[in-house]
Amino acid sequence: MSDLYDDPTMFLFTPENANEPHDAYRKMRDECPVARGTGFDGVPEVTISRYEDVWHALRHPEQFSSAPDAVSIGQEHALIPLQVDPPDHSRYRRLLDPQFGPKRMAELEPGVREYVNRLIDGFASRGECDFHEEFATPLPSTVFLLLLGLPISDLPLLLQWRDNTVRPDVDPNDWDAAVAIREQTGREVNEYFERAIAQRREHPDDGLLSRLVHAEMEGRPLTQEELLGMCHLLMLAGLDTVTATLDCFIAYLAEHPEQRRRLVDDPTLSSGAVEELIRWETPVQMVARVLKEDTTLGGVELKKGDRAAIVIGAANSDEEAFGGADAVDFTRQANRHVAFGAGPHRCLGSHLARLELRVALEEFHRRIPEYRIAPDAHLKYSPGIRQTESLPLVFEPEAAAARGEVVAGTA
């Protein structure tokens, strides 16, 4: 295991700490809340893990910038609006925020609820499923494709690009191989969206991609580079983070039946459960920034050009910020977690994510109230974004099928 003081970021990225990160989070906060080290590629890096410091970094982009030099995933253009700082960032958010606002996302709920039940219909009578493959992956991915107006048949290709970018299949210590895969993938993603953009210019439809192609920002159309940057970011966010979050939620609830039964008995707890489980599990463990000026944080001097790993998972379990931080409480009040970020770069798709997660919890527990992880399964989480390779569940098929029949008969 990497030592915290030698390489604080790699310490977090060990398999053990990806599977169960809270001891690592505690060690980081207690022993070295602002830790200097070296990143994967030898660039000086600081790791920030205490809530107060994380909150400051997220809310001060003039110091902690999201510009492309904070992290490269092989993209050819800045990921918009993530890798653009204020004031330009604000212009893009004024264009994009209404597309993902609460009212527009609420309009999607009937369709999301119907699709969730169709997914459950596919395995309810079997008494078992791989939740990751049969539910957590297709749900947000299909919603994303329908939202953008992309063909469902393209999903396998997009998922492969997602995995190549987020978790390339190489030796974790082979940085050059990972860079090569990401750069090749970035070129392929660009070519795909160049064709998709050209098609929408000639043949507009009612999908989000078409609306962006024909949108104006402050009296001008978006450039090709801006559109490609938006599409690349939307692809990664739409295909990965909610899948990882669903994996984490259901794995936790399978291992904590008393908490699961609370949701079964009282579905009104689902919204609170989403907020609390995303705080406790924090699937996106950290976000990257780069220092734009010299500053001091937590008594540590930071230099312009340093990269910063902001460990939002550690911040979300900080006892100084959350009373009873180690207790999962679906009725927690004023839950100021940073799982969706904070400040100007707060997650653009948070309302969509909340909708998908809440509906998934409500319908899955209505249809399949009792489930557990398969006895021979050993869950393995990817680091950085905590997604399981598989999540085999077993449950009572008769009860699940019967609930499905009731739903079908009353629809």
Q: Give the pLDDT mean for 269-285.
A: 97
Q: From the candidates 39, 186, 238, 349, which is the catalytic residue? A: 349
What is the separation of C-alpha 314 from the centre of its chain, rounded to a whole number of angstroms? Answer: 16
Is the residue at 277 inside a domain? yes
**Which residues lie below 8 Å from residue 354, measured CB to CB, with a gap of 6+?**
271, 274
Over 50: is that where the pLDDT of 391 sits?
yes
Nearest to 274 by CA among 310, 328, 237, 322: 328
For residues 8 and 32, is the Cβ–Cβ distance under 8 A?
yes
Helix axes 138-148, 242-255, angle to 10 degrees: 150
Domain that holds residue 258: 8-410
Respond yes or no: is residue 3 known to be catalytic: no
The token duo for 39 is 């990143």
- Local structure of 101: helix, strand or coil: coil
Q: Give the pLDDT mean for 91-115.
A: 96
Predicted confidence at residue 400, as pLDDT, reads 61
Is the residue at 176 inside a domain? yes
The number of C-alpha atoms within 13 Å of 405 and in the hemisphere containing its C-beta is: 7
- φ, ψ of residue 174 in degrees (nearest 5): -95, 80
Alpha-carbon distance of 120 to 65, in angstroms, equals 42
Task: Enter the DSSP assignment of 37.
Answer: E
Q: Which residues pair with 309 in a beta bridge?
A: 47, 288
Alpha-carbon distance of 324 to 262, in angstroms, equals 19
Is the residue at 2 inside a domain? no
For residue 377, give the CATH number of its domain: 1.10.630.10
Q: From the candidates 348, 352, 361, 393, which is the catalytic residue? A: 348
Over 60: is that where the pLDDT of 355 sits?
yes
Number of domains in the chain: 1
What is the separation of C-alpha 122 from the centre of its chain, rounded to a whole number of angstroms? Answer: 25
User: What distance, in Å, lies between the first and last C-alpha atoms of the chain?
Assistant: 53
Q: What is the mean pLDDT of the chain?
A: 91
Over 70: is that where the pLDDT of 258 sits?
yes
DSSP string for 369-386:
--EEE-TT----BPSSB-
Q: Which residues pair with 129 in a beta bridge?
A: 393
Alpha-carbon distance of 18 to 342, in angstroms, equals 23
Range in 45-49, 121-125, 174-178 with the lowest mean pLDDT: 174-178
Q: Using 50, 70 and 90 to split pLDDT, how confident is the model at 406?
A: very low
Q: From the candidates 26, 104, 167, 211, which is the catalytic residue? A: 167
Q: From the candidates 9, 47, 185, 241, which is the catalytic residue? A: 241
Is the residue at 1 inside a domain? no
Alpha helices in 32-101 (DSSP H): 51-58, 88-96
Respond yes or no: is residue 355 known to be catalytic: no
Q: How many helices (H) and strands (E) does the chain have?
A: 19, 12
Predicted confidence at residue 411, as pLDDT, reads 33
Is the residue at 3 inside a domain? no
Respond yes or no: is residue 245 known to be catalytic: no
Q: Using 50, 70 and 90 to split pLDDT, how confident is the model at 104?
A: very high
The beta strand positions in 144-303, using DSSP E, are: 216-217, 220-221, 287-291, 295-297, 300-302
Over 60: is that where the pLDDT of 380 sits?
yes
What is the separation of C-alpha 367 from the centre of its chain, rounded to a whole number of angstroms? Answer: 26
Q: Using 50, 70 and 90 to split pLDDT, how confident is the model at 6?
A: low
What is the separation of C-alpha 405 from the centre of its chain, rounded to a whole number of angstroms? Answer: 33
| Angle subtended at Cα 59 by Cα 17 and Cα 21, rounded to the nearest 5 degrees | 10
Helix (H) or strand (E) holding 198: helix 175-202
Helix axes 224-236, 155-166, angle to 10 degrees: 80
Over 80: is that where the pLDDT of 40 sits?
no
The token duo for 346 is 């707060």
Is the residue at 56 inside a domain? yes
Predicted confidence at residue 233, as pLDDT, reads 93
Over 80: is that where the pLDDT of 114 sits?
yes
Is the residue at 153 inside a domain? yes
For residues 39 and 305, is the Cβ–Cβ distance under 8 A?
no
Respond yes or no: is residue 347 known to be catalytic: yes
Alpha-carbon distance of 65 to 89, in angstroms, equals 11
The token duo for 148 is 């953008």
The token duo for 276 is 């609390």
pLDDT digits (tens, 9 = 90+) for 175-233: 788 889 999 999 999 999 999 999 999 999 999 999 999 999 999 999 999 999 999 99
Q: From the candidates 53, 240, 247, 318, which is the catalytic residue? A: 240
Q: What is the dihedral of CA 48, 52, 58, 62, to 10 degrees?
A: -90
DSSP string for 220-232:
EEPPHHHHHHHHH
Predicted confidence at residue 319, as pLDDT, reads 97
Is the residue at 367 inside a domain? yes
Residue with tokens 């734009």: 292
Respond yes or no: is residue 348 known to be catalytic: yes
Predicted confidence at residue 8, as pLDDT, reads 62
